Amino acid sequence: MAAGVDQVAAAVRRVTRVPTIVLVDGRSGAGKSTFADLLASRVDEATVVRLDDVYPGWDGLRAGADTVRARVLAPLRRGDPGRWPEWDWDADRLSGRERRVDPARIVIAEGAGVLTPASARLADVTVWVDAPREARRARALERDGETYRPHWDRWERQEDVHVRDHRPAEIAGVVVTLP
Protein backbone atom coordinates (compact mmCIF):
# COMPACT_ATOMS: atom_id res chain seq x y z
CA MET A 1 0.00 0.00 0.00
CA ALA A 2 2.86 2.38 0.80
CA ALA A 3 4.03 2.52 -2.82
CA GLY A 4 0.53 3.40 -4.00
CA VAL A 5 0.20 6.08 -1.34
CA ASP A 6 3.57 7.54 -2.35
CA GLN A 7 2.54 7.56 -6.02
CA VAL A 8 -0.73 9.37 -5.25
CA ALA A 9 0.95 11.78 -2.81
CA ALA A 10 3.39 12.76 -5.57
CA ALA A 11 0.48 13.31 -7.98
CA VAL A 12 -1.33 15.44 -5.38
CA ARG A 13 1.76 17.60 -4.83
CA ARG A 14 1.93 18.34 -8.58
CA VAL A 15 -1.60 19.80 -8.60
CA THR A 16 -1.66 23.57 -8.27
CA ARG A 17 -5.44 24.04 -8.09
CA VAL A 18 -6.86 24.73 -4.61
CA PRO A 19 -8.61 22.91 -3.27
CA THR A 20 -7.03 19.80 -4.69
CA ILE A 21 -9.78 17.17 -4.73
CA VAL A 22 -8.82 13.51 -4.42
CA LEU A 23 -11.33 10.66 -4.80
CA VAL A 24 -10.57 7.25 -3.29
CA ASP A 25 -13.06 4.55 -4.30
CA GLY A 26 -13.17 0.79 -3.91
CA ARG A 27 -15.39 -1.96 -2.64
CA SER A 28 -16.04 -2.55 1.05
CA GLY A 29 -12.98 -3.81 2.89
CA ALA A 30 -10.59 -2.97 0.05
CA GLY A 31 -8.57 -0.55 2.18
CA LYS A 32 -9.97 2.85 1.10
CA SER A 33 -10.07 4.40 4.57
CA THR A 34 -6.58 3.21 5.46
CA PHE A 35 -5.29 4.45 2.11
CA ALA A 36 -6.97 7.86 2.57
CA ASP A 37 -5.61 8.22 6.10
CA LEU A 38 -2.07 7.35 4.99
CA LEU A 39 -2.35 9.77 2.08
CA ALA A 40 -3.60 12.54 4.37
CA SER A 41 -0.60 11.97 6.64
CA ARG A 42 1.81 12.41 3.71
CA VAL A 43 0.47 15.64 2.23
CA ASP A 44 0.00 19.04 3.84
CA GLU A 45 -3.34 20.40 5.01
CA ALA A 46 -5.54 17.48 3.98
CA THR A 47 -9.11 16.94 5.11
CA VAL A 48 -10.79 13.55 4.69
CA VAL A 49 -14.51 13.32 3.91
CA ARG A 50 -15.83 9.82 4.56
CA LEU A 51 -18.86 8.66 2.66
CA ASP A 52 -19.68 6.46 5.67
CA ASP A 53 -20.87 9.71 7.28
CA VAL A 54 -23.09 10.44 4.28
CA TYR A 55 -24.70 7.18 3.06
CA PRO A 56 -28.37 7.18 4.09
CA GLY A 57 -28.36 3.63 5.43
CA TRP A 58 -27.60 0.22 4.01
CA ASP A 59 -29.39 0.89 0.73
CA GLY A 60 -27.81 4.30 0.20
CA LEU A 61 -24.58 3.79 -1.73
CA ARG A 62 -25.71 5.70 -4.80
CA ALA A 63 -27.57 8.37 -2.82
CA GLY A 64 -24.51 8.97 -0.65
CA ALA A 65 -22.24 9.28 -3.66
CA ASP A 66 -24.69 11.65 -5.37
CA THR A 67 -24.89 13.77 -2.21
CA VAL A 68 -21.12 14.05 -1.99
CA ARG A 69 -20.85 15.05 -5.64
CA ALA A 70 -23.61 17.68 -5.45
CA ARG A 71 -23.17 19.00 -1.91
CA VAL A 72 -19.45 18.58 -1.28
CA LEU A 73 -17.38 18.27 -4.46
CA ALA A 74 -19.25 20.79 -6.64
CA PRO A 75 -19.27 23.53 -3.97
CA LEU A 76 -15.61 22.88 -3.13
CA ARG A 77 -14.69 23.18 -6.80
CA ARG A 78 -16.35 26.62 -6.77
CA GLY A 79 -14.39 27.55 -3.63
CA ASP A 80 -17.40 27.24 -1.35
CA PRO A 81 -17.76 24.98 1.71
CA GLY A 82 -19.27 21.56 1.26
CA ARG A 83 -22.21 20.61 3.51
CA TRP A 84 -24.17 17.43 3.99
CA PRO A 85 -26.66 15.92 6.43
CA GLU A 86 -25.00 13.44 8.78
CA TRP A 87 -26.37 9.89 8.93
CA ASP A 88 -26.78 8.22 12.33
CA TRP A 89 -26.15 4.52 11.74
CA ASP A 90 -27.29 3.50 15.22
CA ALA A 91 -30.65 5.27 14.88
CA ASP A 92 -30.92 4.42 11.14
CA ARG A 93 -31.90 7.98 10.26
CA LEU A 94 -30.48 11.43 9.67
CA SER A 95 -28.88 12.74 12.85
CA GLY A 96 -30.26 16.26 12.46
CA ARG A 97 -26.71 17.60 12.29
CA GLU A 98 -25.09 19.10 9.25
CA ARG A 99 -21.44 18.36 8.52
CA ARG A 100 -19.22 20.90 6.79
CA VAL A 101 -15.88 20.88 5.04
CA ASP A 102 -14.12 24.09 4.09
CA PRO A 103 -12.12 24.37 0.88
CA ALA A 104 -8.87 23.18 2.49
CA ARG A 105 -5.68 22.84 0.51
CA ILE A 106 -6.45 19.15 -0.13
CA VAL A 107 -9.77 17.36 0.29
CA ILE A 108 -9.82 13.57 0.10
CA ALA A 109 -13.28 12.04 -0.40
CA GLU A 110 -13.22 8.30 0.28
CA GLY A 111 -15.93 5.72 0.00
CA ALA A 112 -17.57 3.15 -2.20
CA GLY A 113 -19.30 4.82 -5.12
CA VAL A 114 -17.48 8.16 -4.98
CA LEU A 115 -15.73 7.75 -8.35
CA THR A 116 -18.08 8.24 -11.28
CA PRO A 117 -17.57 10.05 -14.57
CA ALA A 118 -19.44 13.06 -13.14
CA SER A 119 -17.42 13.20 -9.91
CA ALA A 120 -14.15 12.58 -11.77
CA ARG A 121 -14.73 15.83 -13.69
CA LEU A 122 -14.65 17.67 -10.34
CA ALA A 123 -11.53 15.90 -9.08
CA ASP A 124 -7.82 16.34 -9.61
CA VAL A 125 -6.62 12.87 -8.59
CA THR A 126 -8.68 9.67 -8.69
CA VAL A 127 -7.87 6.32 -7.09
CA TRP A 128 -9.44 2.86 -7.20
CA VAL A 129 -8.39 0.52 -4.36
CA ASP A 130 -8.93 -3.16 -5.11
CA ALA A 131 -8.47 -6.45 -3.26
CA PRO A 132 -9.77 -10.01 -3.62
CA ARG A 133 -13.37 -10.50 -2.47
CA GLU A 134 -12.62 -12.88 0.40
CA ALA A 135 -9.86 -10.64 1.77
CA ARG A 136 -12.19 -7.64 1.57
CA ARG A 137 -15.02 -9.50 3.27
CA ALA A 138 -12.75 -10.71 6.07
CA ARG A 139 -11.42 -7.18 6.66
CA ALA A 140 -14.89 -5.62 6.61
CA LEU A 141 -16.32 -8.14 9.05
CA GLU A 142 -13.29 -7.86 11.32
CA ARG A 143 -13.65 -4.07 11.27
CA ASP A 144 -17.43 -3.87 11.75
CA GLY A 145 -18.18 -7.27 13.26
CA GLU A 146 -21.66 -8.68 13.40
CA THR A 147 -23.16 -5.27 12.66
CA TYR A 148 -22.13 -5.59 9.01
CA ARG A 149 -22.60 -9.33 8.43
CA PRO A 150 -26.36 -9.21 7.64
CA HIS A 151 -25.83 -6.32 5.20
CA TRP A 152 -22.78 -7.56 3.26
CA ASP A 153 -24.73 -9.05 0.34
CA ARG A 154 -27.07 -6.09 -0.18
CA TRP A 155 -24.16 -3.62 0.00
CA GLU A 156 -22.14 -5.76 -2.40
CA ARG A 157 -25.04 -5.72 -4.90
CA GLN A 158 -24.99 -1.91 -4.82
CA GLU A 159 -21.23 -1.96 -5.39
CA ASP A 160 -21.78 -4.32 -8.33
CA VAL A 161 -24.20 -1.81 -9.89
CA HIS A 162 -21.73 1.04 -9.31
CA VAL A 163 -18.86 -0.90 -10.89
CA ARG A 164 -21.02 -1.98 -13.84
CA ASP A 165 -22.52 1.47 -14.48
CA HIS A 166 -19.53 3.73 -13.75
CA ARG A 167 -16.44 1.54 -14.29
CA PRO A 168 -14.42 3.32 -11.59
CA ALA A 169 -11.32 1.16 -12.03
CA GLU A 170 -11.17 2.21 -15.68
CA ILE A 171 -11.54 5.94 -15.03
CA ALA A 172 -9.22 6.04 -12.01
CA GLY A 173 -5.89 7.72 -12.58
CA VAL A 174 -4.28 5.27 -10.17
CA VAL A 175 -5.30 1.69 -9.35
CA VAL A 176 -3.92 0.19 -6.15
CA THR A 177 -4.30 -3.57 -5.68
CA LEU A 178 -3.91 -4.94 -2.17
CA PRO A 179 -3.71 -8.56 -1.02
Domains in the chain, number:
1
DSSP 146: G
Q: How much is the pLDDT for 140? A: 92
Percentage of the residues of the chain whose pLDDT score is greater than 90:
92
Rounded to the nearest angstrom, the gap between the alpha carbon of residue 136 and the centroid of all alpha carbons in its chain is 16
Q: How much is the pLDDT for 3? A: 83
Residue-wise pLDDT tens digits, 67-95? 999 999 999 999 999 999 999 999 999 99
Q: How much is the pLDDT for 63? A: 98
When pLDDT is cut at 50, 70 and 90, the band that residue 147 belongs to is confident
Q: Are the C-beta atoms of residues 111 and 65 closer than 8 Å to each other?
A: yes
Give the mean model confidence (pLDDT) for residues 3-20.
95
The pTM for the full model equals 0.96
When pLDDT is cut at 50, 70 and 90, the band that residue 144 belongs to is confident
Top-confidence range, 42-46, 146-150, 166-170: 166-170
Give the DSSP per-residue string, 24-40. Answer: EEE-TTSSHHHHHHHHH
Q: How much is the pLDDT for 20? A: 97
Give the mean model confidence (pLDDT) for residues 23-35.
98
What CATH code is carried by the domain that includes residue 116? Answer: 3.40.50.300
Q: How much is the pLDDT for 61? A: 99
Q: How much is the pLDDT for 136? A: 97
Give the mean model confidence (pLDDT) for residues 109-132.
99
For the chain, the farthest-separated pair of C-alpha atoms sits apart, in whole angstroms, at 44
Give me the domain span that covers residue 35. 2-177
Q: Are the C-beta atoms of residues 84 and 97 closer than 8 Å to each other?
A: no
When pLDDT is cut at 50, 70 and 90, the band that residue 104 belongs to is confident
